[in-house]
Amino acid sequence: MAGRRGTIGAVAIIALLHGPNLNLLGQREPHIYGSATLDDYVAVVTAAAQAHGHTVEALQTNHEGVLVDAIHSARNRAAAIIINPGAFTHYAWSIHDALAAFAGPIVEVHISNPNAREPWRHISVVAPVATGSIMGLGIQGYELAVHAVAARLA
């Protein structure tokens, strides 16, 4: 059914994108990232999206170009992007440029609070092209991201 870009009827597709090393969630560094696995994050986001009548397409990659391609695909498929770019956050201008070409809401999410960590993590090249950024709230931050996106798509 024709509709707004990234929608199937009234159902919006939310692209949930994760960058490098986030496939290791729950396996290492639980003192920083907790014990939830990436599958747990996807499940929480999917449940929150479904509560708003939306659907989620999730991807994790360790490769910058693959993430750029996923953002390009989202231009035609998704109504919104929730992205944790991992360490790409801090230097990957290709991710910045790809997100800048996306028309819908973009929420940058971080599990930890990069501003409370090493100085090199204090810079985000993604934040200037995001609708908003949520950090330091763990898995709850992802739920908040879904609510924020849903409000903007309503």
Residues that bind ligand CA2 (CB under 6 A): 21-22, 24-25, 28-29, 33, 84, 86-87, 89, 110-112, 114, 121
* Known active-site residue 54: no
Which of 18, 54, 96, 110 is the catalytic position? Answer: 110
In the complex, the smallest distance separating the C-beta of residue 59 from ligand CA2, rounded to whole angstroms, is 15
Residues in contact with 112: Cβ distance below 8 Å, sequence separation at least 6, in sequence order: 32, 33, 135, 136
* Known active-site residue 33: yes
In the complex, the smallest distance separating the C-beta of residue 41 from ligand CA2, rounded to whole angstroms, is 10
| 3-state secondary structure at position 107 | strand
Based on CB atoms, which residue is closest to ligand CA2, 22 or 106? 22
Per-residue burial over 18-46, b = 16 or more CB atoms within 10 Å of its CB, e = otherwise: bbbebbebbeeeeeebeebebeebbebbb
Give the angle subtended at the CA of 110 by the CAs of 58 and 148, to the nearest 5°.
70
In the complex, the smallest distance separating the C-beta of residue 3 from ligand CA2, rounded to whole angstroms, is 32
Based on CB atoms, which residue is closest to ligand CA2, 9 or 29? 29
Based on CB atoms, which residue is closest to ligand CA2, 102 or 142? 142
In the complex, the smallest distance separating the C-beta of residue 2 from ligand CA2, rounded to whole angstroms, is 36
Residue 125 CA from chain centroid, whole number: 14
Q: Are 121 and 88 within 8 A, CB to CB?
A: no
Catalytic residues: 33, 110
